[in-house]
Amino acid sequence: MSNVGVLGSINVDTTLHVDRIPQPGETIHVQSKSSAGGGKGANQAVSAIRNGAKVKFIGSVGKDADGVMMRDLLKAEGIDIECVLEDEKNSTGTATILLDEEGQNSILVYPGSNDSIRKSDIDEMKEELETLDILIAQFETPKEATLEAFKIAKENEVITILNPAPASEIASELLAVTDVIAPNETEAEVLTGIKVESVEDMHKVASYFHEKGVSVVLITLGSRGVFLSSKDTEKIIPAFKVKPVDTTAAGDTFIGSMASKLKVDLSNIEEAIVYGQQASSIAVQKPGAIPSIPKEDEVTRIYNL
């Protein structure tokens, strides 16, 4: 069983179900509204633990009802929340999701307490980080905290996985302590300036990150699968074809479930990617973020593993 840490966001998601995403200046009718736990960090942590990992969460919530709800939700999943801080000043993060009839979404995120995690907080958690096998982070919490956590991780031979979303400039110092980076096509373009339209473009993106010190590059391609580039191989691993209902937590489900199966020497990266895609293919067929994430027994049953 992998010991996975997740440094990341905790949000309460409100989903507005619409026929289509509105154009600028346009007012449209909302068919229905629903709320559930979310945030990229929380989604990835839940995906990892539901698929067999032991999980420790590092994050922050407000001292409000949403914060209590999210702490209780994570704890009920079996996630260690000793490193989830309570922010005295800011409310718990929220996300408003516009979800159309094709299962595609647009998301507005209010970071709230997610923005309050500091380098000093991470330093106080050093002993907790040293016990991990794998550490995952995204960009919905401050980068200075991620950099400090990844530095501690690398000093202790912990595998680091960076999901650079939402995409913004990455310091070379952070890439130098990143083992696996996993942007989607849009994020890859924002980060490298290379528009991903062909396999050759994917190779150029991968080369950019390899030159910065990243060992494994994964570019998630939605329904086409995942492009993998490492010292041993470079290929597209095809996705499993399904009809999506809600793609909100697709990438997070992939990251968390893949990490749950990943060996610390990365020797089974292809097998872990395939498992992550299987879990993600199930998640997109259900509404919501955390409610859609499958457990290991469901993945095993559906794909006869």
Could you give the residue ranges of the DSSP H alpha helices within 77-198?
A: 119-124, 126-129, 143-155, 172-175, 185-192
Which tokens hold the place of 84? Answer: 């989830």
Structure-token pair, residue 48: 């990892």
283 marked as binding residue = yes
Looking at residue 139, its pLDDT comes to 96
DSSP 184: B
- CA distance readout (Å), 81 to 85, 95, 283: 9, 21, 24
User: Is 78:49 a contact under the CB 8 Å cutoff?
Assistant: yes
Residue 86: the pLDDT is 97
164-204: pLDDT as tens digits:
999 999 999 999 999 999 999 999 999 999 999 999 999 99
Residue 85 clears pLDDT 90, i.e. is over it: yes
The span from the CA of 137 to the CA of 139, in Å, is: 7
Tokens coding 57 = 């969460």
Give the 3-state DSSP-derived string for 204-243, with helices as H, strands as E and coil as C: HHHHHHHHCCCCEEEEECHHHCEEEECCCCEEEECCCCCC
Band of the pLDDT at 104, cuts 50, 70, 90? confident
Provide mean pLDDT across the span 220-243: 95
Binning pLDDT at 50, 70 and 90, where does residue 288 land? Answer: confident
> Rounded mean pLDDT of 216-230?
96
Predicted pLDDT at 101: 87
Was 135 annotated as part of a binding site? no
What is the DSSP secondary structure assignment for residue 21, as one 8-state letter? P
Res 75: pLDDT? 98
Question: Residue 93 and residue 288: Cα distance in Å, rounded?
Answer: 17
Give the pLDDT of residue 247. Answer: 85
Which pLDDT does position 1 carry in this prediction? 81
pLDDT at 107 over 90: no
Is the model's pLDDT at 103 over the cut of 90?
no
pLDDT at 305: 82
C-alpha span between 124 and 290 (Å, rounded): 29
Query: Please, which residues have CB within 8 angstroms of residue 279's CB and are 6 or more apart in sequence?
Result: 47, 51, 253, 254, 257, 293, 294, 299
Question: Is 286 exposed, middle or buried, given 0-12, 13-18 or 19+ CB atoms closer than 10 A?
Answer: middle
Report the share of the chain in percent with pLDDT over 90.
Answer: 89
| Contact between 280 and 294 (Cβ < 8 Å) | no
Task: Tell me: is residue 195 an annotated ligand-binding position.
Answer: no
Instruction: Tell me the pLDDT band of 98, cut-offs 50, 70 and 90.
Output: very high
Average pLDDT along the chain: 95
Q: Which of 133, 252, 265, 297 is catalytic?
A: 252
- Mean pLDDT over 276-293 rounds to 93
Asked whether the predicted pLDDT for residue 246 surpasses 90, the reply is: no
φ/ψ of 157, rounded to 5, equals: 60, 35
- Is pLDDT of 83 > 90? yes
Is 292 flagged in the annotation as binding?
yes
Full set of structural domains in the chain with CATH: 3-10+39-92+114-302 (3.40.1190.20)
168 has binding-site annotation: no
Over residues 48-64, the pLDDT tens digits come to 999 999 999 999 999 99
Instruction: Judge whether 252 counts as a catalytic residue.
Output: yes
